[in-house]
Structure 1
Amino acid sequence: MPVKVLIVDDSGFFRHRIEEMLSDDPRMEVVGTAVNGREAVEKVKQLRPDVVTMDVEMPQMNGIEAVRIIMREAPTNVLMLSSLTHEGARVTLQALEAGAADYLPKDIRAWMDKGSNVRSQLIDRLVALGRSRRFQRSSVFERDFPGKAKPGTTMVFRPDDPEPPSRRTATPARTTMAKPARSSVSGGLSTRRERPVPAPTAAPATAREVSGPATTPAARVRFPDCKLVVIAASTGGPAALQKVLTALPANFPYPILLVQHMPKTFTQVFAERLNQQCHISVKEAEDGDRLQPGRALLAPGGLQMIIDSKQTDRVRILPGDERLTYKPSADVTYASAAKTYGAKVLGITLTGMGADGCDGSRLLKQAGSTQWAQNRESCTIYGMPQAVINAGLADAILDLDDIGPLLAGRGSR
C-alpha cells in the first residue's frame, strides 16, 4: 500500500511543488493539504495519514504547536520543512522537541531546481517515516534545566496497528557485503556514491517483522576496555543522542565522538543545545580540538571528522571526499577510530536511515573493537543499526533506554 501523505504549508508554491514531486511515485499518495497548523490538526484526525510534511511559520497556528497537538491527540510521524538559517535550525530543534521525527531543509533554490536531489531526499524520508510505526508523543528536550538528565522518548502505537513489538527472537536476513575498497581520502573506505541499501524500509512492516533480533538484556552487557566512544545516528538521532548523553555523569571517563547527519548550521545549534542539557560538555568539533574525558565532540555538518594520525588526542575536521554521500559520515569517523585506537573503541550505532556506519563498523570489528547497535523496537528508523546487525558486527543489540545507563555505569563487571 502507498504511504499516505498530508501536506501542510501556507505557501501555495510549496504545496503544489511537494504534491508534484510525489504524484508520479507509486509509493506515495497525497491524501490532503492544509494551509495552517489548526487545519493540519483536524485533517490528521480525519484523514489519518501515515506521515505529515509540516511547514514551521504559518498563520493561526504554527507548525511547532501543531506538532505538539498532533503527537498528543493523533500520533503521526511528521517531517518538518525549515530554512537553513540559524533561526531555522533553532525552530527545527524545537519541532523535534515537540515530537517531529525528522526534517528537510527548505532551500527554495533547490526546490525550484528540477535537477536537484530534493525530490529523492523527500521521498526517501517519507517512505521511511510513513512505514515506521514509532511515534515520539512527548517532548524529549526539557527546557531551562541545564545539566540535568531529561525524560526520554515515548513511543506509542496506533490503536489499529498490530500489537506493539515484543522481544521475540527473529532471524535477520544476512547481508553479504564486499570488503571496502581502500582510499587515502576517505580513511580506508570505498568512495562509491551509491545510495544506501533501502532494505529496512522496502516494505511495510508486518506483525511478524515489527520485532527485530532479540534485544540483549542490559545485565548481560559487559563494558569493554576502551579509550574512546563513538556514536553515530541519523533520522531520530537528536532525540536518541539527547537521551543517551544526558544520562552520563560529568566525570565520564572517556572522550566521545558524535556523528549526526545534519547540515552545518544545525550541528552548531544542536551541540549548544546538548551542552545546556548534559552533565558532560558537548561542542561542535573544530579542527585541532582535543579528545578529553567527559567531553563530546559533534562532527560539523558538511564536513568529516577524523582523529589526527600524528596527535592522536586531537581531531581533524576536513572537507573529505566529494564522492562520499554523507557529510559527516559515520563510516569515515569509525574508520579513523579503528585505525588509531584499534580494539580500544566502543562504537554505538543508533537510529537512522540507510547504512552509513556499516563499512566503518566492519573496520572496527576487524581491529577488535566492541560495537553496540540500537534495537528495532526503540528506533525511529531501523536502518543504520539493522545494517550493522545483519552484517554480524554488533556485540550487543540494546534498547535505547539501556544505552545511557550502561555507559554511565560502565556496564556490569
Structure 2
Amino acid sequence: MTIKVLVVDDSGFFRRRLTELINADGRLQVIGTASNGQEAIDQAGRLRPDVITMDYEMPVMDGITSLREIHRKLRIPVLMFSSLTYEGARVTLDALEAGAVDYLPKNFEEISKHPEEIQKILCDRIVMVSGSRTSVASAAPTTAAPAPAVAATPTRRGGLRSTQLVVIGASTGGPMALQEVLTRLPANFRLPILLVQHMPGTFTKAFAERLDRICQISVSEAKDGDVLRAGHAYLAPGGKQMLSDGHMRIRVTEGESHLNYKPSLDVTFGSVARDLGGKVLGVVLTGMGADGREGARLLKAEGATIWAQDEASCVIYGMPMAVAKAGLVDEVLDLRRVAPRLCEEIN
C-alpha cells in the first residue's frame, strides 16, 4: 500500500524538491502541499495523509503550533525538519514534545549535491515514521500496562542492591521517553546514570540542558574525565563514544569510524560490562535498529540485569525488540513503569 504524504514548507523550492524526491520512491506519494501551519491543519483534515513532513519556521502559523493541533485532533505522524544548530536543537526538542515522531536536518545544499543519498534517507525515514506510534509522553495515560510481546523473568525485588550504575539507551522516540523516565526520579536517586541517545552533536548539549532544567536529578552532557556521582545523569555527546575508565570516571572518545552510531549503546554497554561486570542495570528504550543488543549480551554474560521497554509504549519497537528476541531481557516494562521500578529497586 502506498504511503500518502503531505509536505508542509513555506519555501516553494523546498516543497517542489521534496515532492520530487518523495514521488520518485514507489512506496510513497505526495497527495498535497501546504505553505504554512494553518494550511497544514486544513489539508491534513481534508486529505488524511499517513505522514506529514513539517518545517517549523513559517508565516501565518508556525510549525510547532500546527503540529500541536494536528497531534491533538488527528494523531498523524509528523517528521519535522530542523537546522543543525543549537537553536535548531531547542526548537526540535519542542517539536518532539509537541508530538513529532522524528526529525531530519534541513539542508538545501546537501539536497542539491547528493540527491540520491538524501532521497534514500528521507524516504526511509518517512516509511519508518508511517509505522510509528504517537509519542507516549504526550499521549493519554493508560490504565494498565499491556502484556509484553516477549516473555521475560521479572527482576527479583531487592535483587539490584549491588548495582553501581544505570545505563539507559534509546533512538527514535528516545528524547521524550528519557524525559518521561528522568523527570520522575527523585533528587536523592542513589546511583549515577549514563544516557545514550542517537542524536547529532549539536543537539546533545541543548537536550542535556533541557533535562537538567526539568528534572530533580542533575543532568549534563558528558565530558571526558567526569567523575560519576549519585543522582546525576550523563548524556553521551553526539558524534562521540562514551565509555567507563574502570574507576567510576567517564571517557569520551571519537570512537571507530566504521561504527553506525555515535554514540552507540553497544559501545557503552560493552565498556561498563568490562569494568563493572554484573553491577550494572541496562535499560533499552524505544528506537529503530538493534543498537544495544550485542552490548547487552556482554553485560548478561557478566551477570548484569537488562530491562526493555514494551512494544505497546514504544514509538519504534526496534532496539527493545532486538534485545528481547535475543533472550537477554530480565524485565519488560511499559514506559511509565520504568521510573517507579528504578525507585523500587535502586532507592
Normalising by structure 1, we get a TM-score of 0.79
Give unpaired runs (5+ residues) of structure 2: none
Q: Which residue of 2 aligns with 1:37?
A: 37
CA contact (8 A) 2:146 2:334 kept: no
Alpha-carbon shift at residue 214 of structure 1 (Å): 5.5
Instruction: Return the letter of the residue paired with 1:3.
Output: I
Q: Which residue of 1 aligns with 2:263?
A: 328
CA contact (8 A) 1:248 1:279 kept: yes
| Pair 1:318-2:253 in alignment | yes
Which secondary structure does the structure 2 equivalent of 1:6 belong to?
Answer: strand
User: Are the structure 2 counterparts of residues 27 and 45 from structure 1 closer, same or farther at C-alpha, using a change threshold of 3 Å?
Assistant: same
Summarize the alignment of residues 369-388 of structure 1 with structure 2, pairs less than 5 Å apart.
Answer: 369-388=304-323
In structure 1, how many angstroms separate the alpha carbons of the residues matched to 2:145 and 2:260?
A: 34
CA contact (8 A) 1:338 1:363 kept: yes
Out of 274, 281, 293, which is 1:346 matched to? Answer: 281
In structure 2, how many angstroms separate the alpha carbons of the residues matched to 1:63 and 1:301?
A: 25
Matched positions, count: 346
> CA-to-partner distance for each residue in 1:344-388, whole Å, 9 max, x for gaps?
110000001111111111111112110000000000010111111
Q: Identity of paired residues, percent? A: 54
Alpha-carbon shift at residue 335 of structure 1 (Å): 0.8
Instruction: Return the letter of the residue paired with 1:267.
Output: T
User: Are the structure 2 counterparts of residues 217 and 341 from structure 1 closer, same or farther at C-alpha, using a change threshold of 3 Å?
Assistant: closer
In structure 1, how many angstroms separate the alpha carbons of the residues matched to 2:145 and 2:231?
A: 35
Alpha-carbon shift at residue 216 of structure 1 (Å): 7.5
In structure 2, how many angstroms separate the alpha carbons of the residues matched to 1:91 and 1:8?
A: 17
Summarize the alignment of residues 248-397 of structure 1 with structure 2, pairs less than 5 Å apart.
Answer: 248-309=185-246, 312-397=247-332
Alpha-carbon shift at residue 113 of structure 1 (Å): 2.0
User: Are the structure 2 counterparts of residues 223 and 69 from structure 1 closer, same or farther at C-alpha, using a change threshold of 3 Å?
Assistant: farther
Give unpaired runs (5+ residues) of structure 1: 138-151, 158-164, 170-211
Q: Which residue of 2 aligns with 1:193?
A: none
Q: Which residue of 2 aligns with 1:13?
A: 13
Which secondary structure does the structure 2 equivalent of 1:5 belong to?
Answer: strand
Superposition CA RMSD, Å: 2.3
Alpha-carbon shift at residue 85 of structure 1 (Å): 1.1
Alpha-carbon shift at residue 102 of structure 1 (Å): 1.1
In structure 2, how many angstroms separate the alpha carbons of the residues matched to 1:117 and 1:321?
A: 22
Q: Which residue of 2 aligns with 1:160?
A: none
CA contact (8 A) 2:227 2:248 kept: yes
In structure 1, how many angstroms separate the alpha carbons of the residues matched to 2:127 and 2:81?
A: 16
In structure 2, how many angstroms separate the alpha carbons of the residues matched to 1:388 and 1:37?
A: 40
| Pair 1:167-2:167 in alignment | no
CA contact (8 A) 1:234 1:352 kept: yes
In structure 1, how many angstroms separate the alpha carbons of the residues matched to 2:90 and 2:177?
A: 18
In structure 2, how many angstroms separate the alpha carbons of the residues matched to 1:101 and 1:375?
A: 18
| Pair 1:236-2:173 in alignment | yes
Q: Which residue of 2 aligns with 1:209?
A: none
In structure 2, how many angstroms separate the alpha carbons of the residues matched to 1:222 and 1:115?
A: 54
Q: Which residue of 2 aligns with 1:245?
A: 182
Instruction: Return the letter of the residue paired with 2:193.
Output: I
Which secondary structure does the structure 2 equivalent of 1:317 belong to?
Answer: strand
Which secondary structure does the structure 2 equivalent of 1:363 belong to?
Answer: helix
Alpha-carbon shift at residue 123 of structure 1 (Å): 2.1
Point out the structure with the larger helix share: 2
CA contact (8 A) 1:31 1:47 kept: yes
CA contact (8 A) 2:284 2:319 kept: yes
User: Are the structure 2 counterparts of residues 382 and 153 from structure 1 closer, same or farther at C-alpha, using a change threshold of 3 Å?
Assistant: same
Alpha-carbon shift at residue 29 of structure 1 (Å): 2.0
